[in-house]
Amino acid sequence: MGGIAYITAFHASISRNNVLINANMLDASRQNGVRRFLFSSSACVYNQSKQKNADVTPLREEDVFPADPEPGYGWEKLFAEQLCSYYCKDYGIDVRIARFHNVYGPIGTYQGGKEKAPAAICRKVALAEDGGEIEVWGDGEQTRSFMYVDDCVEGLIRIMASGYHDPLNLGTDELVTINRLVDLVASIAGKHITAHHKLSGAQGVRGRNSDNTRLRKVLGWEPSIRLEQGLAATYEWIASQLRAEVPKRVSASAAAD
């Protein structure tokens, strides 16, 4: 998968590849006596009609039905959730289903088209001059919640140790606009940055947030790393990668000359 531009442009290949991966992994697990199986699902499974407002009501696990997930990727994830439940019922595989809400952090994709919003904004701000401008798709008022990778790992460990088989949200309920995300990254970078809004760019649903009521009930825990903290670590890593690429770009230019 990848960022919003990628998952809206390649419905067939994303759906085919993920269906094959998930179906084959489940059946290989059945054939080889795997005791516990984790499926990494996505908030993209949720009904799109519940995500039309930026001030979105946090999504509960049951809000997935009646089904109207995002095209391609969302439908594939919802189908795979159902397949996991069938393998649990018919073959006794001890499944776990985690619905990720926008995971981000260092050592992730930050360029090339498959990066997600936090990484893309970190890259753009790192490359921009102080007082410069970066491109933001849409009006920037679309909203999301973002979960730092350390919280994601902790959540997965706890979910795997639980006895819960049904889908479970794994994300924060800290709702933020994309414009606010730009401001946070710019502040971390110590730069004054202006957003140039590209209204024709892919945007996805208008608003999405995680309802963690069931997560707290099942695990007695929820993600707690604040967005500012996670972005600071993410920005520094991406900026360091870009700084390391400068000699390569200079060398390539000199060779071309």
Q: Which of 73, 87, 104, 235 is catalytic?
A: 73
* 73: annotated active-site residue: yes
What does the alpha-carbon distance between residue 193 and residue 196 come to, in Å, rounded to a whole number?
10
What does the alpha-carbon distance between residue 135 and residue 149 come to, in Å, rounded to a whole number?
25
Tokens of 187: 């502040």
Please confirm whether the linkage preceding 66 is cis (ω < 30° from 0). Answer: yes
Catalytic positions, please?
Answer: 73
